[in-house]
Structures are given as C-alpha cells and as structure tokens.
A and B are shown apart, each in its own frame.
Chain A
Amino acid sequence: MPEVDPLIIEDLTFRYRNRSEPALKHVTLQVPKGELLLVAGASGCGKTTLARCINGLIPRSYKGDLDGMIQVLGQDVSSLPLSHISQMVGTVLQDPERQILGTRVLAEVAFGLENLGWERQRILATAEEALDTMGVLNLRDRETFSLSGGEKQKVALAGVLAMHPQILLLDEPLASLDPASARETLERVRALAEAGMTVLMVEHRVEDVIRYKPDRVMFMSEGEIRYLGPLQGLEKAVNYHEVKLPVKMILPLAAADPPPPPLVSAVEAKPGTAPLVTFQDVAFGYDPEQSVLKGISLTINSGDVIAVLGPNGAGKTTLVKHAIGLLKPKSGQVLIGGKDTQDLSVAEIASNLGYVFQSPSHMLFAPTVQDELEFGPKNLGHPPDEIERDVKRALEIVNLEGMEGDPPLALSFGQQKRVSIAAILAMRSRILVMDEPTAGQDYKNYMQFMHSIMAMPGFEAVLFITHDIDMAVIFANRVLLVAEGRLVADGPPHQVLADQQRLTDCRLVPTTLLQANLENFGRTGAFLRAEALAHAIAPG
C-alpha cells in the first residue's frame, strides 16, 4: 500500500476576522515525506498564513473563516487540539526571540519534553541529542539572552527538533542571521530532510535556500499558488524583479530586457568639508568586564554611502548608537559636526542624524500614519508647510501613499518597517542611519525603497547595517567590516569584499552577485546590480 503523504492540503481558504479579503485562496498541496519545499513570495502573499494553518495557530490563536481541509499524518487537524498538532508539526518562527522561553539553553530545548511529562533522564538525553544535531551542544549551559542571533535560531530549532516532529515548518528562519549562520542553519535543515523529515521553509532569501537544492519550490502571490514545481522552472514563472534569484538565472532574462535606468545617488559629496561624524579610539561595554567596542576610529564624510557588515553580535548596532548619542563611549570621543556627543542631547543630534531602529514596534504609537510621520519633524520645530511636503515625499519613497489615515499599529510588519523608515526620512536629517532596513521586507519592496532613498536629495551621507552583502554591492560606495567589536576593514566594496579569507573570518558568504561582479570588475570598473551587469557584460 502506498504511503500517505505527511501533509495534504485541499482547497484551503482563510480570511482573517478583521480583513475583507481572504489571505489564502483555494490552496491545494501535497508534500511527501523527506521533501524540502521552499515557499516564496512577497510580503502579504499568504505564506505565513499557510504556515499558521498547518501548525494549528489558525484558527485557534488567529481567528477568522477557514474553509478546506488540512491533513497531517493522515489526521484532519481541525479536530485535533493544538498540543497534539505540535507533536507532529514543529514550528520555528522568523524571530527566535519570539520563541525562546527558557533562561538557559538546556531548559529551552527541554521545554516541550517537560510538557509531555517524559522522565527526567530521557528528557536530558533527547535534549542533548537535539543540541548535537544542530551542532550547538557546546552552548548547553549558556544563558539564552547571551546568545548571538544565529545561536538563538539554532537553539530554537533544537527545541523543536527535540519533540521529534515529522513535519518541520520554518517561517523565514534566516531573516536575522548573518550569512554564515544562515548557511549553517540551511545545511542542518537539508540534512534533516535527507533523514526523512518533511520540511516547509518559508523564506524571502530564495537565493540562499536554492543553494541547498530544495526538492520543489512554491511561489505564492495574493494568497494563491502561482508556481509549484522543480527549481528549474522557477525563473520562467516568477518576475526576477520580485524574487531574488541567483545571478546565473537573472543574467539571460535581464539581457533580453531593455537596460535598467542607471542607479541614481543623490547623496552629496562636498569636497573640502569637515567630517560629519568622527570616532576617535572609541571603546564601550555595557558591563565593566565586557567590551563591545574596542578602539574604533573612523570618519563619516559627505558623499559616503556606507554598508556596515559583520556577524551577529559584532557590535554594529552599538557602534551606530554612539553616532546618535544614545550611547556614550567609555573612552575615546564621538564628534558630530566637530562637537562631542557627551555635550549634545540626542534630540540635538537628531536634527543632523536620523536613525531608523531595527524594530518598528518600539516607536509606532500615533493613531494615523500621517501623525506618526509628523511627530519627528514637529519635535524638531520644522514649519508646517515643510512638514506636509516632507511627509508626502517620505510616503512616496516607501510606497505607502494612500495609507496616511491608516493606524500604523494595524499594518503588517513589513509595512510598519516602511512607516518607521518614512518617519525618519520626514525629519530631513543630513545623515541617514538605518539598522537592518531590509529585514522582514520582500525583495521588490526593499529594492524599490533603497533606490528611492538613494535618489532622495538632501542627505550628505547614508549608513546602513545589513546582513545582505548584495545591498553593499549595489548601493554602498564604502564598506565597514566589524567583528568582535573591532573595525576589521574600511574601504570601497570592490576592495573590502574581494578578500575571501576576511569575509570568512567575519562570517560572510559571497553571493552570486558579488562573485559575478568581482569576476567582471576589470570590464565594468564598478559593482553593478544583476540587471545592469547583464547588459555591461553582454557581447557586442
């Protein structure tokens, strides 16, 4: 008798209680044992909703109208309690911080097993085995809050694996990971699929997953499946402007299209002017015994578009928080426009330097998007007519026109992130600093707003922290590599990113776009995005 597929979905439609349109429409899917299925699509396409239907959070935690059927290991999940489903379907969320409950690693991994009431010795052995599978047994006795982002993700995954689910759901597990941590996670997941586990990986970073040869790819748009099949057919089914594909797939497609308009950078270089920001031998630690920054010296000059790269926990955010004065150095100096940040308030610095935080949820409070965007400029005392103009322009840049009256807190995470960027853009600071602006954003959206930000007049310098090397390749004219609190390299992207050993040391993995640019640098003389590269290297 043929084996029943572990996951069968038939004609699934779901509409959230507070939405008028369904988030999923007539989804039908069967996933066999041991398959690694990549689920891709833009923000709001329904991928996370699908994952919530499979793991039972819909309709138990997220209410709405659910039609259709989901069968897990031959059982209809609608009749099963969540606790039962969770023993068959393991879920790893996008942000491990939202999933980790234990104070220590071992307790975190053992949590599910404790709930199942297993005997203590069996729990201990199984938890250690799961940690070993993820290659993090050495973290066994660490406190969870002291782990780096990559370590947290692996521990969260170990906690789920310990319960031996037959189906593993991964909801954008790479979003907050440095490239090396993402690669290590993907290697482990591939191995789990090889060992017979059915894996559904919801991920924006399609290029990264493709390296680990998913058995099939599912592309979703507006709640529907647009493509479901082998990897080879994906480029024909999706728009390469919407999904980040490997350069090898994009080049022939882009060469056949008209050349893209040149990348416009309005970031103004003013030769002969003093540095905008200066770090002089800056050292800092949250605790006296632990240094986070060690002897950082650098200047930010007009015309700089800087990408700050480095592993999780390297000190990148701590570094930029010094530039806005939220943190003051324990030794050394940070100067903004020649003035020491020790003598300036954050509000005074904010008029010169706009800082977009990593998480939008810490700043959004206003009843409407319009009010949210007006808050900063009003605090800085901008005139009303300027505020109106700047808010409008900021909304255009992040593609949120028409949503002025919407409450920011009711928007999706991706939209909230764009509101948080627009809120800082509306302040019209001279320097723009962004902490992981593309995290949780789909490719099309972040490429669009990054292009618009670069084209926005008025900035004298832009600095962004990112784990996405391609962002540095496409947009930056300078790269800072930070590792273990030190500035490891500082220079133009084609120099800094050409040193393979240094990238490996900083837990960075070259992308296909970086490799293609390095190979063709002699011909192009510049780093280009894939569409432009296709035309620059085309014969004739």
Chain B
Amino acid sequence: MLVTWRYKKRRSIIQYFDPRAWLIFYACFLVCTLLFWDVRFLAFFLAIALLVTFNTGIQWREMKRAWLFIGGFVLFFSFLTFLTGRGGIEFYQTEHIIRQFSAGFSILGWTPKLTISAEKTAYAISMMVRVFSISSMTILIPYSLNPALYGVTFRGLGLPDKIAYGMDLTMRFIPTFGRDFQSTKDAQRARGYELEKLSGGLIAQVRKLVPLLVPVTIHAIASSEDIIDAMDLRAFGIGPRTWLDKLSYQTRDRLLIAGGVAMVVMCMALSLLGVGKFWVPGFLIP
C-alpha cells in the first residue's frame, strides 16, 4: 500500500492557498531564480524562501532529516564549486586572486595548488544561495500539500486524468520506497548483515549492497503490478473520470498566481536587459 508524506493541517502560508495556485507560484519562483546569477537579486528570492519556510508551521524535528540531507548536499557541492571553480568559467574570463596555497609535496612533478579568487568565491556563494532557495521551497511541498488532493490538483492544472492520477501515485511512491527500504534493511540486519561494515572497492561495496537493492527493487516492481491490477479491477481508464474532491480558486489564489506571473514577466524583462548577471562584490577584489 502506498503511504504518504507526513502531511498535517496547520497554520501555514502554503496551506492558505489552493494547491494549484501554490504550485503555479512555485513554478514562477523557480523560473525567476534560475534567471539570475547576481547574488543581490538571488538574496531577494532567498528571502522569499525563508519567509515561506518560517511561516509553514512545520516543526524543525519534522523536517530535520530532509534539511540535513539537502543542506549537506548543497554545502558539499558549493564547497566543491569553490575549490574547482567549475561551471563559473563561462561567466568570467579573468580572475582576481586573493590567496594561493601550494602543497609542500609533488606527485610526478605536479604540485597541488589551491587558488582562491574573488570570482570563484562569488560564484560559489551565488550557486549556494540559488540552490538553497530552490531546495527550501521544494522541501516544503510534501509537508504542506494534502496527499488526498494530489490527483485533483494535477488534473486542475490541466493534465489528463491518467497522467494526473499517475502523478498522484508517483508523489506517494517516494515515501513508500523509503518505508520498504527500511523494512528490508531491518530484515537483513536481523540476519547479521551490517551496512556500516561495508568495505572494499567501489564494485565490492555495490555487490555487498545487493541484499538491500534486490528486495527493494523487486518489491517496488511487484507493488507496481499490484497497483495496476487494483486499478484495472475497478475500471480505471475507461473514460473521463469524476474527481470526488473539488477545488475552487478564491480571490487570494488569483492574486498569488497573478503575482507569480508578474514576477516572471519582470524577471524576464530584467534578464533580457542584461540585469542580474554574474556580479563580484567590490570588497572581494584585492
């Protein structure tokens, strides 16, 4: 059986709006954030993301694992960007070096060096702010949207019945997969299997993951077949379906959508005018 994300009705800025209106606004937010590299502009979107985050009514303990995972991921890749400067080359041609470090050893005549430049630093910060803003807004969705309304929400956004219901099932597949993974891990640990003691090279480690990966995969496939059978046995897909739940836009929803669309139009205009491109703060340049 598919399980759902931990949804709760709460005093939340997201739940104040119709889920369709929020998803449209979310899409507008994504587009706008992706149009800019100037950290001053990105700070505006980060502020929106933080404002929403602190007004969702979700407790830290509820989201802790998701935040730690995503936060760790964002920090790791931002740091990697900072070390390598990868991806930023297309934005700047020259670099203003702040500090340069050389290792006290050489490998086959090559001495490892770390160059910290103003451009690399600014790029890594922009990247971090950008990804963090998008992640923050994304993490909140499963905690804030009522799982009972997934299907009708996607249908209301114009998707056909079958795809809308498919999206509903997909949204619920992720937490279900997590539950099945935990069950398999428990079953194998009860047979003396210790995930913590994986050793050897990459291939050896992947091979040692087989006791987890095979049951989880097979279970996912078997569950998918069960779902298809259960749907077929209740006449799914024979024609246009009625959705028992009904959503209706209120004035506030229309305002939110209008605000989102206006934001996209404005950001696109600014972007076309060349505003918001990569920017290096003056104080970083030596």
* In the complex, chain B residues 188-243 whose Cβ is within 8 Å of any chain A Cβ: 188-194, 210-215, 218-219, 222-223, 225-243
**Is B242's CB under 8 angstroms from A380's CB?**
no
Q: Which one of B1-9, B83-91, B98-106, B109-117 contacts A?
A: B1-9
- Is the CB of B273 closer than 8 A to any CB of chain A? no
Decide yes or no whether B147 CB sits under 8 A from chain A: yes
- Whether B233 and A424, one on each chain, are in contact in the complex, defined by CB atoms closer than 8 angstroms, is no
A163-B235 in contact given A98-B230, A365-B210, A375-B191 (Cβ < 8 Å) = yes
Contact of B242 among A81, A82, A114, A357 (CB under 8 A): A114
Is B148 part of the binding interface, using a Cβ–Cβ cutoff of 8 Å? yes
**Interface size grouping (class) on chain B:** 35 or more
Q: Are B1 and A347 in contact (CB under 8 A)?
A: no
**Which of these, A103, A350, A427, contacts B4 with CB under 8 Å?**
A103
Give Cα A376–Cα B188 distance, bound, in whole angstroms: 8
Residues of A within 8 A of B233 (CB): 55, 57, 82, 86, 91, 99
Complex formed: what's the CA distance from A57 to B226 in Å?
A: 11
Stretch at the interface among A105-113, A241-249, A307-315: A105-113
Option from A61, A114, A346, A423 in Cβ contact (under 8 Å) with B241: A114
Residue among A86, A345, A423 making CB contact with B232, cutoff 8 Å: A86
Hey, which chain B residues are within 8 Å of A423, CB to CB?
Answer: 191
The answer to whether A57 and B229 touch across the interface, beta carbons within 8 angstroms, is yes
Separation of A424 and B211 alpha carbons in the complex (Å):
15
Overall SS of chain B's interface? helix
B246 at the interface (CB under 8 A from A): yes
Whether the Cβ atoms of B192 and A119 lie closer than 8 Å is no
Q: Is A75 an interface residue (CB 8 A)?
A: no
Selected from B191, B215, B222, B243, the residue in CB contact (under 8 A) with A350 is: B191
CB contact under 8 A between A351 and B192, given known A104-B148, A118-B242, A120-B244: yes
Q: Which residue of A lies closest to B192 (CB)?
A: A379
A91: B residues at CB distance < 8 A: 233
B251 to chain A, nearest CB (A): 24
Q: What is the minimal beta-carbon distance from B246 to any residue of chain A, in angstroms?
A: 7
Shortest Cβ distance from A319 into chain B, in angstroms? 15
CB distance B232 to A347 under 8 Å?
Answer: no
Cβ of B196 to closest chain A Cβ, rounded Å:
8
Q: Is the interface of A mostly helix, strand, loop or mixed?
A: helix
B18 interface residue per 8 A CB criterion: no
Q: Does B135 interact with chain A (Cβ within 8 Å)?
A: no
Q: Mark A366-405, 1 if CB is under 8 A from B, else 0.
A: 0000000001100110000000000000000000000000
Residues of A with C-beta under 8 A to B277: none
Report A117 CB to chain B, min CB distance, Å: 5
Note all chain A residues with C-beta closer than 8 A to B242.
Answer: 113-114, 117-120, 123
Which of A61, A116, A159, A357 interacts with B187 by CB under 8 Å?
A357
Q: CB-defined interface of A338-367 with B at 8 Å, one 1/0 digit per residue?
A: 000000011100110011010101111100
Q: Does residue A115 face the partner (Cβ distance < 8 Å to B)?
A: yes
Given A61-B229, A86-B232, also A347-B193 (CB < 8 A): yes
Interface residues of B (CB under 8 A from A): 1-4, 147-148, 169, 172, 180, 183-184, 186-194, 210-215, 218-219, 222-223, 225-246
24 CB < 8 A contacts A-B: A83-B235, A84-B238, A91-B233, A93-B230, A100-B230, A101-B231, A107-B148, A107-B244, A111-B234, A114-B244, A115-B234, A116-B235, A116-B238, A118-B242, A127-B244, A152-B1, A350-B192, A362-B183, A362-B186, A363-B215, A365-B211, A365-B212, A365-B213, A427-B192
Of all A-B residue pairs in the complex, the 9 with the closest CB atoms, nearest first, are A379-B192, A365-B214, A112-B234, A376-B191, A363-B187, A97-B1, A83-B238, A346-B189, A98-B226
Known contacts A99-B226, A326-B186; 15 further A-B pairs (Cβ under 8 A): A57-B232, A84-B238, A99-B230, A101-B2, A103-B148, A110-B244, A324-B190, A354-B190, A362-B215, A363-B187, A365-B210, A375-B193, A376-B191, A379-B193, A379-B194
